[in-house]
């Protein structure tokens, strides 16, 4: 076993490196510290003990490497587990975790997928953020396909949007079935460069695009997993269902660069779901089933 390198404060250094939070979800904080191409992702899912978050992070990285990465055809964003001295992260973690009871923080070091140049946010809704650079030379889409596969006679995503009162017109299931749905998805479609549209439309027709990969995985797992409406206790939560719920909650980054006309696609947010979330899943499912069902919001 190689020795674990613990990142320590370098008191002798005269360079002051600022640490800042660049993202905050319910379960994680994303921190930029010293290197713009990498982020530190710290689990804060358990607000009382650092050791509980550390134990989860170790389980989580093993789960990602063993169970998720092999399914994703090289699309998973590069990431690795590192140990960081608790003293370094104390100023940030103090806000999120009441007792820092370990000397190191188990951190997932993850490639920073935010673009340095595509920083103008031109569309921002619950399931899609679109950024562009000056003159649209670089475009970055950050999106959540959610339940891109559904086995009901209504669309889970469009129905959930309606339930939440979201005005979203587009749907990733429709985009997968018909690439021209891109025009419904992107506000001010005509502002995007023709080269971008041609390239992304071609990508959407490719049999191994990120939406197709997620659709096929969700379909296969849905056939084996117990339906959420049939869950009665935490003992009903099996590995197939946890993996399915992970794949229903990922984030995808698609970056297009005019130079070379290239697309770069990555998947992040592939965490192991705690089994205790099952009550939340069944509650949502009950609300979906008792409300108005929608087979896609848009007819385009
Ligand atoms: Zn839909």
Q: pLDDT digit string (tens) for 41-58? A: 999 999 999 999 999 999
Q: List the structure tokens of 198.
A: 């041609």
Q: How many residues does the chain have?
A: 300
Ligand 1 centroid vs 56 CA: distance in angstroms?
Answer: 34
Tell me, in angstroms, the distance from the centre of ligand 1 to residue 171's CA.
5
Q: pLDDT by residue (tens digit) across 123-139?
A: 999 999 999 999 999 99
CA distance 161 to 140: 23
Mean pLDDT within 57-67: 98
Ligand 1 centre to CA of 33 (Å) is: 39
Alpha-carbon distance of 81 to 117, in angstroms, equals 28
pLDDT at 25 over 90: no
pLDDT at 300: 85
Q: What is the DSSP letter of 77?
A: P
State percent of the chain over pLDDT 90. 91
Asked which of 53-62, 123-132, 148-157, 290-299 is least confident by mean pLDDT, the reply is 290-299
| Ligand 1 is an ion; residues with CB less than 5 A from it | 155, 157-158, 171, 173, 296
What does the alpha-carbon distance between residue 239 and residue 241 come to, in Å, rounded to a whole number? 5
* Distance of CA 67 from the midpoint of ligand 1 (Å): 28
Tokens found for residue 103: 């000397």
User: Which residue intervals of the chain bear CATH 3.30.200?
Assistant: 6-111
CA 143 / ligand 1 centre spacing (Å): 15
Q: How far is the CA of 287 from the centre of ligand 1 (A)?
A: 17
Residue 165 Cα distances to 17, 126, 158, 170, angstroms? 43, 11, 10, 14
Nearest partner of 76 among 266, 204, 294, judged by Cα: 266
For the four alpha carbons of 222, 225, 231 and 233, in that order, the dihedral sign comes to negative
Q: Tell which wins on pLDDT, 299 or 212.
A: 212
Structure letter (DSSP) for residue 115: -
7 CA → ligand 1 middle, Å:
46
Q: Which of 272 and 6 is assigned the larger pLDDT? A: 272
Provide CB contacts within 8 A for 194, sequence distance 6+: none
Q: Which architecture does CATH list for 6-111? A: 2-Layer Sandwich (3.30)
Q: Report pLDDT for 1.
A: 41
Q: Are 126 and 166 in contact (CB under 8 A)?
A: yes
Distance CA 193, CA 135 (A): 9
Q: Give the pLDDT score at 13.
A: 53
Query: Higher confidence at residue 299 or residue 44?
Result: 44
Instruction: Using the mean position of ligand 1's atoms as its centre, give its distance from the Cα of residue 157 in Å.
Output: 5
Strands lying side by side in the sheet with 120-125: 120-125, 128-132, 138-143, 251-257, 262-268
* Segment among 21-30, 68-77, 143-152 with least mean pLDDT: 21-30
**Above 60 in pLDDT, residue 248?**
yes
């Amino acid at each position: 076993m190689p020795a674990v390198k613990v990142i320590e404060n370098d008191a002798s250094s005269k360079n002051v490196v600022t640490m800042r939070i660049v993202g905050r979800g319910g379960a994680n904080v994303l921190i930029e510290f010293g290197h713009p191409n990498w982020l530190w992702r710290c689990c804060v899912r358990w607000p009382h003990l650092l050791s509980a978050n550390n134990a989860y992070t170790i389980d989580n990285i093993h789960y990602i490497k063993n169970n998720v990465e092999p399914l994703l055809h090289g699309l998973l964003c590069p990431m690795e587990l590192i140990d960081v001295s608790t003293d370094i992260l104390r100023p940030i973690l103090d806000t999120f975790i009441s007792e820092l009871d370990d000397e190191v923080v188990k951190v997932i070091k993850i490639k920073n997928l935010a673009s340095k140049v595509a920083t103008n946010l031109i569309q921002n809704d619950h399931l899609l953020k679109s950024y562009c650079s000056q003159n649209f030379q670089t475009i970055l889409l950050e999106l959540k396909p959610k339940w891109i596969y559904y086995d009901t006679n209504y669309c889970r995503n469009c129905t959930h949007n309606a339930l939440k009162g979201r005005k979203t017109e587009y749907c990733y299931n429709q985009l997968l079935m018909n690439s021209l749905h891109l025009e419904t998805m992107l506000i001010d479609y005509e502002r995007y460069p023709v080269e971008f549209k041609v390239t992304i439309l071609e990508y959407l027709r490719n049999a191994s695009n990120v939406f197709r990969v997620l659709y096929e995985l969700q379909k296969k797992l849905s056939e084996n997993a117990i339906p959420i409406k049939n869950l009665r206790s935490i003992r009903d939560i099996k590995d197939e269902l946890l993996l399915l719920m992970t794949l229903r909650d990922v984030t995808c980054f698609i970056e297009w660069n005019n130079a070379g006309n290239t697309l770069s696609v990555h998947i992040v947010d592939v965490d192991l779901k705690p089994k205790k979330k099952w009550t939340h899943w069944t509650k949502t499912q009950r609300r979906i089933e008792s409300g108005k069902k929608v087979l896609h919001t848009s007819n385009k």
